[in-house]
Amino acid sequence: MLSVEDSVRTLPTFTDVAAAADRLQGRVLRTPVWRSARLDARTGRRVFLKCENLQHVGAFKYRGALNALLHRQAAGTPPGLVATHSSGNHGAALARAARELGWECGVVVPRDTSAAKLANIRAQGVEPLLCEPGLAAREAATARLIAERGAELVHPFDDARVIAGQGTAAVELLAEVPHLDVLSAPVGGGGLLGGSALAARAMARECRVIGVEPELADDAARSFRSGARVGFATPPPTLADGLRGSIGALPFELCRRHVDDVLTVSEAGIVRAMRVMLEECCLLIEPSSAVPVAALLEGRLGAPGDAVGIILSGGNVDLGLCPFLAGRATT
Amino acid sequence: MLSVEDSVRTLPTFTDVAAAADRLQGRVLRTPVWRSARLDARTGRRVFLKCENLQHVGAFKYRGALNALLHRQAAGTPPGLVATHSSGNHGAALARAARELGWECGVVVPRDTSAAKLANIRAQGVEPLLCEPGLAAREAATARLIAERGAELVHPFDDARVIAGQGTAAVELLAEVPHLDVLSAPVGGGGLLGGSALAARAMARECRVIGVEPELADDAARSFRSGARVGFATPPPTLADGLRGSIGALPFELCRRHVDDVLTVSEAGIVRAMRVMLEECCLLIEPSSAVPVAALLEGRLGAPGDAVGIILSGGNVDLGLCPFLAGRATT
């Protein structure tokens, strides 16, 4: 059997995703696959939206976090303290998973985390530990927590158990809609895209897998094109607060092997996509979730008539901060 | 065979609803039944939301309008001119149904109809004819259209074919969730509630059927309690623009026979329900749809643990007019 360290750091396969799907059965919500006649008419595609904004804690992140802890539990580890750093959704997800399974949990979040996401972590009974924005500060604060309190890290994306868990959303989508021509997900750390790509390669060989990220946070696109992983020293100022981190080592390797393309979209495109989803689909999604929708609206996902699946990653948004809701001009 | 006039004015039965479901199969969207863990936790109920805000033209109204025209077509009537008056959604629905089947269509709408609903009618290729607000003005303008151009009326709710069509949303919901303890719908003219009650009585005998309307437009509640149908001479100033009309004769008779209760909710409750649906369910609904949700949030639909179904009637809302989105204080 692999050690914990090895099982975390080994590149996951579809077997890991399938095992995660078994483990999570009945513990995560089987979120609906949403269709909208208006969106189909507007885009000329048949669009299938996997609504992880309706998942527990309002994001797909619950899948990966819970899978990591269930994996530890299956290995016979008694409950202890887990810790992580998070732009918000992974923190809430780990806090909820820990509570479900009787673990303690510490969550480090950057100071610029949205009020909705802070409230979401507190709703799981965990008081977030604030740090300065940026990966270095996040990692340093988490390292202190681990050293001082003997916590075990559940990384938000660079963890094979987390990636395998995130892939289960795509498993459900492809089980329901087997003949997708394109499957798309946003890319931040890359856990969702990596896990989704594992599912698509195994379940729908012809399906193209396309990651989308903000132009302002284009590390994954640049890494994908150059073949060498690059990142940002300071978090880029994109509205998509879930995608400010840089792509992790394991997700990057999965992208290299299994992803067909990584596109980028503008901030104006993200805002427009949020507005279109609200006005034409009656769905509120957070800016990170709007990123692949923006590419869809620009005609850049698949061809006319194609079946396009998009994983709507989350719905935790401060209504007061929505640019178009606050009445500012958009596009 | 009944004459057209008779088939319109005869109280519909579940047989008519079932025939409508057959007729509409493949022509209307089978809208998703939405669940939200957060809404369940908040209300202590298992809540099933039938998302007619995702129906063609953004409202359940397409079911009734299309059923009326398909009924005419089945009777061998060649396409001609149909006309109606509408607060917006029925007009768009009839316009689309007419276009689908090769009829011409005239739609009278009151001047205070929202921009979103006017745009929705125009999107079906019909230029709305504006009249003063109020049932009398609407009926007069429609009567002129009928007299001058030989149009045939498809009334928005006092028409057996329309009521039978509206009932098909509840048929789909009950087919998917057979053990509902409560089924609730908003009441304006009463077509949706009447059709839903026919479905529930036949498909789920133990299910309580509860209509909800704004306090400001409480004609159905007062009629239900007194046993005598009353209405408003001028449209009441509720935010729920789809419910300003008074309950029709046929729907009232169906309510008397098959509905268990009619509740009322405040304007503040309606706004709060819209906000909760957006923040906790990521769903944008129009004020009329928020009316039964308001009753749910006040603990007035069913008991803790009950399975409660709500028909979310529509999603056509001017974002700029949403009180809470414009930043005004709500509750």
The answer to whether B257 faces chain A, any CB pair under 8 Å, is no
- On chain B, the residues whose CB falls within 8 A of the CB of A39 are none
Residue A164: count of CB within 10 angstroms of its CB: 31
Residues of chain B with CATH 3.40.50.1100: 4-59+166-321, 62-153
Residue B278 to residues A87, A318, B114, B252, B293, Cα–Cα distance (Å): 22, 11, 20, 32, 12
Asked if A184 and A308 touch (Cβ cutoff 8 Å), the reply is: yes
The answer to whether B329 faces chain A, any CB pair under 8 Å, is no
Please compute the mean of the pLDDT values over residues A116-134 and round it to a whole number. 91
Q: Choose the weakest-confidence range: A36-40, A96-100, B8-12, B211-215.
A: A36-40
Residue A189 to residues A61, A111, A193, B124, B327, Cα–Cα distance (Å): 12, 19, 9, 44, 34
CB contact under 8 A, B282 and A283: yes
CATH for the stretch A62-153: 3.40.50.1100
Positive or negative, the CA dihedral A226, A231, A237, A238 is positive
Question: Does residue B279 surpass a pLDDT of 90?
Answer: no
pLDDT score of B316:
85
Question: Does residue B239 surpass a pLDDT of 70?
Answer: yes
| A57 closest CA partner among A105, A14, A12, A112 | A105
Partner residue opposite A325 with nearest CB, options B53, B58, B325: B325
Q: Choose the weakest-confidence range: A25-34, A57-66, A162-171.
A: A25-34
Please compute the mean of the pLDDT values over residues B87-116 and round it to a whole number. 92
CB contact under 8 A, A283 and B279: no
State chain A's mean pLDDT as an integer: 92
The fold adopted by the segment(s) A4-59+161-321 is Rossmann fold (3.40.50)
More confident residue, A35 or B162: B162
Q: What is the pLDDT of residues B59-79, one digit of tens each?
A: 999 999 999 999 999 989 899
* Residues forming beta bridges with residue B152, ordered by sequence position: B82
Give, in words, the CATH class of B4-59+166-321.
alpha beta
| A73 closest CA partner among A105, A92, A93, A98 | A98
Please compute the mean of the pLDDT values over residues A20-33 and round it to a whole number. 94
At B285 the three-state DSSP class reads coil
H or E element at residue B83: strand B81-85
Question: Does residue A258 surpass a pLDDT of 90?
Answer: yes
pLDDT score of A328:
38
| B218 closest CA partner among B250, B251, B186, B182 | B186
pLDDT bracket for residue A234 (50, 70, 90):
confident
| A13 closest CA partner among A201, A211, A262 | A201
pLDDT score of A83:
96
B contact test, residue of A282, A286, A325, A330 with most B CBs within 10 A: A282
More confident residue, A289 or A31: A289
The answer to whether A327 faces chain B, any CB pair under 8 Å, is yes
The whole-angstrom distance between residue B271's C-alpha and the CA centroid of its chain comes to 19
pLDDT score of A330:
36
pLDDT score of B321:
66
Question: Does residue A331 surpass a pLDDT of 50?
Answer: no
ipTM for this prediction: 0.78
H or E element at residue A191: helix A191-203
Residue B281 to residues A30, A51, A58, Cα–Cα distance (Å): 15, 11, 9
Asked if B148 and B140 touch (Cβ cutoff 8 Å), the reply is: no
Asked if A126 and A107 touch (Cβ cutoff 8 Å), the reply is: yes
Q: Choose the weakest-confidence range: A8-12, A34-38, A246-250, B309-313.
A: A34-38
pLDDT score of B324:
62
Query: Helices A249-258 and A160-176 sit at what angle, rounded to 10 degrees?
Result: 40
Residue with tokens 């976090």: A65
The answer to whether B330 faces chain A, any CB pair under 8 Å, is no
* Residues forming beta bridges with residue B183, ordered by sequence position: B209, B309
Please compute the mean of the pLDDT values over residues B73-90 and round it to a whole number. 91
Residue A194 to residues A71, A258, A295, Cα–Cα distance (Å): 19, 8, 19
pLDDT score of B327:
46
Q: What is the pTM of this model?
A: 0.84
Question: Does residue A129 surpass a pLDDT of 70?
Answer: yes
pLDDT bracket for residue B9 (50, 70, 90):
confident
CB contact under 8 A, A282 and B283: yes
Element counts in chain B: helices (H) and strands (E): 13, 10
Instruction: For residues A219 and B161, give the distance between their C-alpha atoms in angstroms, rounded to a whole number.
Output: 58
Percent of all residues in chain A with a pLDDT value above 70, rounded to a whole number: 95
Query: Helices A191-203 and A14-24 sit at what angle, rounded to 10 degrees?
Result: 100
Beta carbons within 8 Å of A213's beta carbon, 6+ residues apart: A186, A187, A188, A219, A220, A221, A240, A243, A262, A263, A264, A265, A291
CA distance B224 to chain A (A): 33
CB contact under 8 A, B282 and A51: yes
Question: Does residue A196 surpass a pLDDT of 50?
Answer: yes
Asked if A60 and A157 touch (Cβ cutoff 8 Å), the reply is: no
Q: Choose the weakest-confidence range: A1-5, A46-50, B71-75.
A: A1-5
Residues of chain A with CATH 3.40.50.1100: 4-59+161-321, 62-153
**Upper half-sphere CA count for residue A266 (Cβ side, 13 Å):** 7
Question: Does residue A69 surpass a pLDDT of 90?
Answer: yes
Question: Does residue A300 surpass a pLDDT of 60?
Answer: yes
Percent of all residues in chain A with a pLDDT value above 90, rounded to a whole number: 75
State chain B's mean pLDDT as an integer: 92
pLDDT bracket for residue B4 (50, 70, 90):
low
Q: What is the pLDDT of residues B111-158, one digit of tens each?
A: 988 888 898 999 999 999 999 988 889 899 999 999 999 999 999 999
Q: What is the pLDDT of residues A311-328, one digit of tens each?
A: 999 988 877 766 666 543
CB contact under 8 A, A38 and B58: yes
